[in-house]
Amino acid sequence: MKKLFALVLALALALSVAACSGGASTTPAPSAKPSAAPSAAPQKLIKVGFAQVGHESDWRTASTKSVQAALSKEKGFDLRFVDCDNNSAKQLEAVRSFIQQQVDYIVIAPIVSTGWDTVLTEAQSAKIPVIVLDRTIDDSTKYVTWIGSEFTNEGLAAGAWLKDYAKAKNIKDLNILVIKGTTGSSAEIGRTKGFEKIAKENGWKILDQQDGNFTQDGGQKVMESYLKSYKDKFNVVVCQNDNEAFGAQDAMKAAGVTYGVNGKVILISFDACKAALKQVLEGKINADFQCNPLQGEFLADAIKKLAAGEKVPAKTYMKEPWYVAEDILKSITYTNNAGQTVTEPLIKVTQAIADAAY
């Protein structure tokens, strides 16, 4: 009986190895010489070209590391990584070079959400499936799947938190400065849309919204200019990522403006990387809405499924918690981007949470 079970298992394994190695769209089927035992044949690596946005933030570094770890040689991948340095022309060029290299799959983390249809048509003609990671592509549907975050919900959640927080602290007037992420990126578009909706509903004043390009330097420069134009006129700063928040803090510190739990300015951020959660713990950022960059395993899983001829979902959303510095609110309730009323917990950051963050 045991022997029979082992035999069935061995057969199943041999079959699944054969299915995997022959499944990728541009990989030729292995020649079926009777003498070559399947286990002795060297594993064919799946060639994946990854056009990454750049290296602008802690989030991005974590994203790159996550993909590199999940798509390693040991795990069966030949990963060709291009850092596109936040340059859209360079990103299109990277995708075209992957088409020329005849990779099996192309992964794009699109810098901006438009301008994609032509190159995706080229990939389609070359029969190379495209997977979109992180930000979305909004002017083409020529890709097989997308893995990323619901950016509009992140913005809505930030607004819902600010509404309840201001009420709990009896703050009547909200005068808000927003440091946006890269203009035209879906992360910027979604966070802006979500937050603006709540601001409008509550009659808050958004004094200004300028692009800090998701970098610390960008955040600092925008904040320096805000401090000149809006000195003493604002009590909320919303940074669309943590690195911008670090830059904004430097500018406020230099100008003698206090922020965070014991400061004059409520500071809100997105991403929730380790360095930022330490600041939430210390009360230097009031609330941080996580965007989860650890997408590598989901990506590897999707590619393996496609290579095996299996179906993958059109969209995969990352799970993302909301972090706060104080204990006064336990949850927020808001209408999400799908029109559902949701109640989500607010997590007060502890040392253990900050230590475990990406």
**Interaction site with ligand GYE (CB under 6 A):** 56-57, 59-60, 134-135, 149, 187, 214, 241, 270-271, 291
Half-sphere exposure of 111 toward its Cβ, with a 13 Å CA cutoff?
Answer: 24
DSSP string, 122-143: HHHHTT--EEEESS---S---S
Q: Which is nearer to ligand GYE, 44 or 191 (CB)?
A: 191
- Least distance (Å) between residue 95 CB and ligand GYE: 17
Element (DSSP H or E) covering residue 347: strand 341-348
Q: Which is nearer to ligand GYE, 270 or 323 (CB)?
A: 270
Residue appearing with tokens 């997105």: 270
Q: Which is nearer to ligand GYE, 21 or 240 (CB)?
A: 240
Q: Which is nearer to ligand GYE, 59 or 77 (CB)?
A: 59
Element (DSSP H or E) covering residue 39: none
- Least distance (Å) between residue 194 CB and ligand GYE: 13
- Least distance (Å) between residue 273 CB and ligand GYE: 8
The Cβ of residue 269 has, within 10 Å, a number of other Cβ atoms equal to 31
Q: What is the rounded CA–CA span in Å between residue 96 and residue 90?
A: 10
Q: Which is nearer to ligand GYE, 122 or 211 (CB)?
A: 211
- Least distance (Å) between residue 292 CB and ligand GYE: 9
- Least distance (Å) between residue 190 CB and ligand GYE: 9
- Least distance (Å) between residue 109 CB and ligand GYE: 7
Q: Which is nearer to ligand GYE, 23 or 194 (CB)?
A: 194
* Cα–Cα distances in angstroms (integers) from residue 210 to residues 36, 47, 127, 207, in the given order: 62, 39, 40, 10
Element (DSSP H or E) covering residue 355: helix 351-356
- Residues with Cβ < 8 Å from 354, sequence gap 6 or more? 274, 277, 278, 280, 281
Q: Which is nearer to ligand GYE, 241 or 286 (CB)?
A: 241
3-state secondary structure (DSSP) of residue 1: coil
Half-sphere exposure of 119 toward its Cβ, with a 13 Å CA cutoff?
Answer: 23
- Least distance (Å) between residue 183 CB and ligand GYE: 13
